[in-house]
Amino acid sequence: MFIGVGTSVPEISNLPGSSRPGGGGGSAFEYTAIENSFSMEFDGAGSYFETGITDLPAYVSISLWVKSTSAVWAGSPSLVTRRDMPYQRFPYSIFWNGGSVYARFRIQSTNDAYNGVNLQTSTASGLNDGQWHHIAAFFDGAKGSLYVDGSEVSTVLVSSITGGVEGPLWPNGNPNVNVQNYTTWIGKAVTTTFDGKLDEVAIWNSAISENTIQAIYDTTANNSSKVADLSETPEGAPVAWYRMGD
């Protein structure tokens, strides 16, 4: 289900942070800059986008642009989440709460094979400032990382979790899990929905690099009202890329 409004976003040139081509070691991939004139507006009162993605990858990366001035998002609605419909468990999600964002990955555990264990990054705060922000997060089997506007804000190692942690995203290999029970939402978590604008939402079934994340951000920072053509990423094209109106 989708309820939303395409809305012009010429202000995407008003970006926080600095452009740092090539940072993070080596040369960053240079993307083709393509036109971006629209986003999707979510009203916080029931609008969301259901993607239809039901696959259960071992690793994941998410990239998106977000803009909001809402001070409170009750119930921590997510920007992107994959969830188990019957039990409301989240193999991966980027959550928001009062202008803060964090990424959560549920990973395999021999101690609790049925539910797995949570790997959660620290929060990045103050993002409800009415500017566009680029959010990226990935899980590569060894760590979960969160980036805001091209810069890493939090990384949590799998090795920091005590007790029988394996590595891929839960519920890989779990015979009790039916892939058809899963869906992927944009702008919703269980019953709460997001209040703000989202754009250029992309999901990979693999980890993307720091250089890739930075290059996605830099493409817009260096080109007013344009975004990166994500069909060209060094890690391959995302399994899903939602232009959100373009």
pLDDT digits (tens, 9 = 90+) for 83-135: 776 666 788 999 888 788 999 999 888 778 778 888 999 888 899 999 999 99
Backbone angles phi, psi at 105, to 5 degrees: -125, 130
Count of positions (residues) in the chain: 246
Beta pairing class for 240-242 and 60-67 = unpaired
Residue-level pLDDT at 142? 92
Answer yes or no: are the C-beta atoms of 229 and 33 closer than 8 Å. Answer: yes
- pLDDT (mean) for 148-166: 87
Residue-level pLDDT at 104? 93
Residue-level pLDDT at 21? 29
Residue-level pLDDT at 241? 95
Determine the Cα–Cα distance for residues 49 and 126; give it in Å rounded to an integer: 25
Whether 10 shows a pLDDT value over 70: the answer reads no
CA angle 93, 64, 199 (to 5 degrees): 120
Instruction: Tell which wins on pLDDT, 171 or 63.
Output: 63
Nearest to 109, CA basis, from 166, 27, 177, 171: 166
Task: Of 19-23, 114-118, 225-229, give the lowest mean pLDDT range.
Answer: 19-23
Answer yes or no: are the C-beta atoms of 68 and 128 closer than 8 Å. Answer: yes
